[in-house]
Amino acid sequence: MGQNTRGIYPDQNGLWQIDRSKWGTRFRQRGFKSYDEAERWLIQALGELRETVVHGKRTTYTFDQAAAHYVSLHAEKASIETEIYMLQGVMPYIGKLDLHQVHDATLLPFKNERLKEGRAHKTVNLALGVVRRILNLAATSWRDDDGNTWLEQAPKITMLPLVGHQREPMPITWGQQRNLMPKLPDHLARMSLFILNSGVRDDVACSLRWDWEIKVPELGISVFEVPRSNVKGRKLVRVVICNSVSQSVVESVRGQHPEYVFVYRRERVKNTAMPPVMPYRRIQTMNNTAWQRARTAAGLGDLHVHDLRHTVGMRLREAGVSEGTRSDILWHTTASMTQHYSVAQIVELHDALEKIRDDTGRWNKSLATLRMEQEDAVRELTYPKATQAKKIA
């Protein structure tokens, strides 16, 4: 080819560079090894620009560009950290693909790998749901400078079936609770006891702040007004009600940290008279290695932190608490929930939570618990020596 294409120049390093403007768009690129390579690049770039300007061709976006755009637009979303974590898992499979290349076939390797790792169908679907949300927004809401949507049409993303693959909730008994608590580190034991007496989600417990606290002198307890930004769905301001047990947990950690209620630091095992090496810091998640070790040691299988909330719901029901009050405590109601609680409402919710502070001998075993106990009994009858050795260990 002749070296006469406008905008291509040699540089001082013996390479070639491009500096060319066309229809208000400037193309600048360096590092081409030959004139021909630079010319091919420029011809392709000019062709794509012509398609966009003359024929209205859509600008091409990759999925990682779309994901970054989504995160920037929804930075204040309560669940954005969780969604970022999910996107990090799927990005190696589709991140570099153009948006129109993301569909069931290109997502299949991600699905297969996660299932091979033993992930639940619901967990995989949560990640697929974020991908589907981004593709839908790219096809309906996001537009380039020419007014075209980022994606012409969003594909249908097929979710994994949940029927037969969904884990049953596993509320714990009082006996299982007494077995689990000593095996948890102190900070996780305090948070677990707080959840079992307030019914809050574990992410709310992790983010609970002192400036949300409102003291109720008539009851001798505190409530925490949780802003919408920290509530799942972000529909309403919610209130955490403390009973006497959860209030005692709050008092036990008062003064540890100026901002967060539940914090952690590594304590000294030796030289305990010396100050701790690290300061208190916020607990990011309860479902960590320490939680998983403790539930295994307690013989509770894959007990989830969220099962503590299921336990609260079951105990409230067995204590005769009305469905409406249970819903208020667990934040299940929507339209009927008021944003500003009256003292009478707080008293009602506090009294309900006081009913589950102690083991009253109520029978609160779920079907899943009964099945697990039956399986343990069968194993003990079949392999008594192995079961006994496991208990001793």
Q: Does residue 160 sit within a domain? A: no
| Nearest-angstrom CA–CA distance, 225 and 250 | 15
Q: What is the pLDDT of residues 43-59, one digit of tens each?
A: 888 887 777 666 566 67
Q: Does residue 203 sit within a domain? A: yes
* pLDDT of residue 339 exceeding 50: no
Choice between 34 and 367, residue whose per-residue pLDDT is larger? 34
Alpha helical stretches, state H, the chain:
35-55, 63-73, 80-94, 104-116, 121-140, 174-180, 186-196, 202-207, 244-253, 289-297, 307-318, 323-330, 343-354, 367-382, 384-392
Q: What is the pLDDT of residues 272-305, one digit of tens each?
A: 788 777 889 999 889 999 999 999 999 998 899 9
Mean pLDDT for the chain overall: 85
* pLDDT of residue 73 exceeding 50: yes
Q: Does residue 156 sit within a domain? A: no
% pLDDT > 90, the chain: 47
Residue 335's pLDDT is 45
Which domain does 28 fall in, by range?
Answer: 8-55
Q: Are 37 and 112 in a shared domain?
A: no
Nearest to 166 by CA among 300, 316, 317, 304: 304
End-to-end C-alpha distance for the chain, whole angstroms: 78
Q: Are 220 and 316 in a shared domain?
A: yes
| Nearest-angstrom CA–CA distance, 152 and 132 | 14
Q: Are 238 and 253 in a shared domain?
A: yes
Q: Are 278 and 189 in a shared domain?
A: yes
Last residue of a domain, one of 19, 34, 55: 55
Domain count, the chain: 4
Q: Are 300 and 378 in a shared domain?
A: no
Two structure tokens written together for 125: 């679907």
Residue 55's pLDDT is 59
Q: Does residue 164 sit within a domain? A: no
* pLDDT of residue 391 exceeding 50: no
Q: What is the pLDDT of residues 100-129, one digit of tens each?
A: 999 999 999 999 999 998 888 988 999 999
Q: What is the CATH number of the domain that holds 198?
A: 1.10.443.10
* pLDDT of residue 392 exceeding 60: no
Q: Are 220 and 357 in a shared domain?
A: yes
Q: What is the pLDDT of residues 215-269, one digit of tens each?
A: 988 888 999 999 877 777 656 778 899 999 999 999 999 999 999 999 998 877 7
Q: Are 40 and 95 in a shared domain?
A: no
Residue 364's pLDDT is 59
pTM: 0.63
Q: Are 36 and 124 in a shared domain?
A: no
Question: Which single residue is written with the structure tokens 């390093």?
Answer: 13
Choice between 241 and 77, residue whose per-residue pLDDT is larger? 241
